[in-house]
Structure 1
């Protein structure tokens, strides 16, 4: 079930933190990188499990280093990190999700990134931005995440369609054609409500030119663009193209395999799930970029690696982070996890450069948008989750729902 957790992961993983720096307060007590030492590392979910394998390879090449990797579940990650930070017990290196970054940078527990060692230009812009708070960067981008459209190519042919939808109008027409001509139960799976519904809404919101909080920190969730996007999103439920009640932990890939759901927006790990769990589906599905409204814009997620400001192993921590975030380490990590490299160089060779499916992700990442770092990110997005649900359930208009969310969010932005 790790992909359900992954949905959460990327909300969390939206911003990430590698902190390395001048304000460490360790009074020059940093152990030299070449000395014998133990580095502690916390990583979430699947990443935590896979990182232990990489750590073994690193220890072989760097015999003075012992790596203690602790996998932490995404469901408990936030409370564990807050408790550790408060007690001054953060590990040397910690994986940080995007929605955490503002809060932990504000606590002063992360080391700013050494920008002589890690260069902004080596990473996707949205990934670097996710770890930057008030002009200082606290995390080195580790992997990136976005959402693209998954669709059943065989059922599209049956519906008389031979290419993916180019525009939002095409998307709705295609959802209708799947139902009426290919006999699918639904047209498109999008989340009707509950935690992190906003993630399902982002491609609609951002492509329409809307956002929740503007770059300069103002609540703008009831802009005309945002209202238009939520009207579009709500229309799928009103027309019976999308299911109004989806149980928590719903696995869309089962219904995609059965053919009852012919389209959904999903993250990169879903490609591996489909290959592993439904090999017979090979050749019957494809991925496509988010259909254009004003533009084709998806959400940017992912994780960063941050260094604790209290660590006395900052030099060695930096070296291990370099190993994980250089092009070679990133390509190796992709092979192990299917996490998309944050370092753009890694996309220039091997499967990442030649696979046509991966080209869709690469293109989407160019325009992917990260939510601005806010101290109260999780509270802000929960207000939007509620607004979306009231529209998908037919309880209020898009404008009413977003006006209400706007008044609540105005009190939460910094």
Structure 2
């Protein structure tokens, strides 16, 4: 399918535009099943500012969306642009399916620290970040206080273990919810703690670096917390824990900024605090982005990049972040905005960990990467090896991940 369509039209209708005599249709795949109003506003203006250009939006649910974009591209019928998880960019780039992105120094300077690492591979940027999340520790104060403890932020892992134990020993609730299911957020939650201990998955040269003291300390934390977790942790993924938290069955767990609204009705007294830090590093968080990728071979790469940049510009991106409830992807004060939403509670907690956080690792085979972490986490939960044995094995497995 050729995405550049030529139609005979009266030049007068195009007002003398450079596109006179031509009409271009951009095929835009939007993962998530909907086009948000903030994005639609920009798309409408883009079409108005570019006579003859039509943006055909196709909203596809996450379960099939990314595979659809990849399959179309592999078959030689790519979309012009797609909104998808940044973790897919390396696979797309290595298969020569998308074009690299260039940012001016001014554009680079306004991104929050570490955000552009989520779209970097081989020294190039391969997507434009368009949605961003960080994590924090949520505490159900009613449960904590019922255990006879003060509802305040545990600063260290030792504090976290002690509070989890006190809740478990003195109430019917578990001290903490930890994800252990074969699911991506089992890896994500582990990385929240690893990045709060100075650890990395790949070093600055892109070489595997999981077999480390920091990883051993993080897995030991899981071993220390095991007696105080929800029953059967290998059966639970993070998003299922909101119900346990709301019902007072766990006192704490780690999730994103959306958690406040999910808990507000049933847990009016919730405390949102930074993820406690380990012995080898400061508090951090995993940095996860979704990005706009411009596909190669459509003939519309320049126009598609122009649209992607319009969607991610300061005011447009601010409207999306603030209306959707996302961690700010840009430092909007650097582009002259005042009274920004993320100065209000609880946003400072989610912003504070950005500078010390780490990216969701970008690999070609995400399932293989996920398995490395699942095997390690489930291994300690099920007593299938020591901390040292499991981390050593994870390091070996990571060497085989492409």
TM-score (normalizing by structure 2): 0.85
1:296 is paired with a residue whose SS is coil
- 1:189 Cα deviation from its structure 2 partner: 0.5
5+ long unaligned stretches in structure 1: 1-25
Q: How far apart in 2 are the matches of 1:108 and 1:61?
A: 28
Q: How far apart in 2 are the matches of 1:61 and 1:409?
A: 43
1:329 to 284, 305, 316: 316
Q: How far apart in 1 are the matches of 2:74 and 2:154?
A: 49
Q: How far apart in 2 are the matches of 1:370 and 1:193?
A: 21
Mapping 1:179-190, distance limit 5 Å: 179-181=168-170, 183-190=171-178
- Look up the match of 2:262: 273
1:149 is paired with a residue whose SS is strand
- 1:60 Cα deviation from its structure 2 partner: 5.2
C-alpha spacing 1:385/1:346, structure 2 compared with 1 (3 Å): farther
Matched, 1:381 2:370: yes
Q: How far apart in 2 are the matches of 1:281 and 1:234?
A: 28
Q: How far apart in 1 are the matches of 2:28 and 2:46?
A: 18
C-alpha spacing 1:213/1:288, structure 2 compared with 1 (3 Å): same
- Look up the match of 1:211: 200
1:341 is paired with a residue whose SS is coil
Matched, 1:412 2:401: yes
1:263 to 242, 252, 270: 252
C-alpha spacing 1:150/1:248, structure 2 compared with 1 (3 Å): closer
- Look up the match of 2:182: 194
- 1:268 Cα deviation from its structure 2 partner: 2.0
Matched, 1:229 2:193: no
Mapping 1:2-401, distance limit 5 Å: 36-45=23-32, 48-51=33-36, 54-55=39-40, 58-59=43-44, 62-63=47-48, 64=51, 65-116=53-104, 119-158=107-146, 159-181=148-170, 183-196=171-184, 197-237=186-226, 239-245=227-233, 246-247=235-236, 251-275=240-264, 278=265, 280-282=266-268, 284-293=269-278, 294-345=281-332, 349-350=338-339, 352-401=341-390
C-alpha spacing 1:170/1:52, structure 2 compared with 1 (3 Å): same
- 1:32 Cα deviation from its structure 2 partner: 6.3
Task: Please say which of residues 59-68 and 325-334 is displaced more in the overlay.
Answer: 59-68
Q: How far apart in 2 are the matches of 1:82 and 1:383?
A: 24
Q: How far apart in 1 are the matches of 2:205 and 2:83?
A: 27
- 1:379 Cα deviation from its structure 2 partner: 1.1
5+ long unaligned stretches in structure 2: 7-16
2:210 is paired with a residue whose SS is coil
C-alpha spacing 1:353/1:373, structure 2 compared with 1 (3 Å): closer
> Contact 2:86–2:362 (CA<8 Å) still a contact in 1?
yes
- 1:384 Cα deviation from its structure 2 partner: 1.9
1:206 is paired with a residue whose SS is helix
- 1:301 Cα deviation from its structure 2 partner: 0.3
Task: Please say which of residues 319-328 and 197-206 is displaced more in the overlay.
Answer: 319-328
Aligned length: 378
> Contact 1:141–1:303 (CA<8 Å) still a contact in 2?
yes
> Contact 1:94–1:306 (CA<8 Å) still a contact in 2?
yes
Q: How far apart in 1 are the matches of 2:306 and 2:66?
A: 26
- Which structure is richer in relative contact order (CA contacts within 8 A, separation 6 or more)? 1
Q: How far apart in 2 are the matches of 1:176 and 1:132?
A: 41
C-alpha spacing 1:250/1:57, structure 2 compared with 1 (3 Å): closer
C-alpha spacing 1:118/1:272, structure 2 compared with 1 (3 Å): farther
> Contact 2:174–2:230 (CA<8 Å) still a contact in 1?
yes
Q: How far apart in 1 are the matches of 2:400 and 2:238?
A: 31
C-alpha spacing 1:315/1:102, structure 2 compared with 1 (3 Å): closer
- 1:266 Cα deviation from its structure 2 partner: 0.3
1:66 is paired with a residue whose SS is strand
Q: How far apart in 2 are the matches of 1:231 and 1:204?
A: 11
Q: Aligned Cα RMSD in Å?
A: 2.8
TM-score (normalizing by structure 1): 0.83
- 1:325 Cα deviation from its structure 2 partner: 1.3
The structure with more radius of gyration: 2
> Contact 1:151–1:262 (CA<8 Å) still a contact in 2?
yes
Cα deviation code 1:77-129 (max 9, x no counterpart): 34223211211222111113122111111111212213249721121232211
Cα deviation code 1:258-283 (max 9, x no counterpart): 111111100122223334xx2x533x
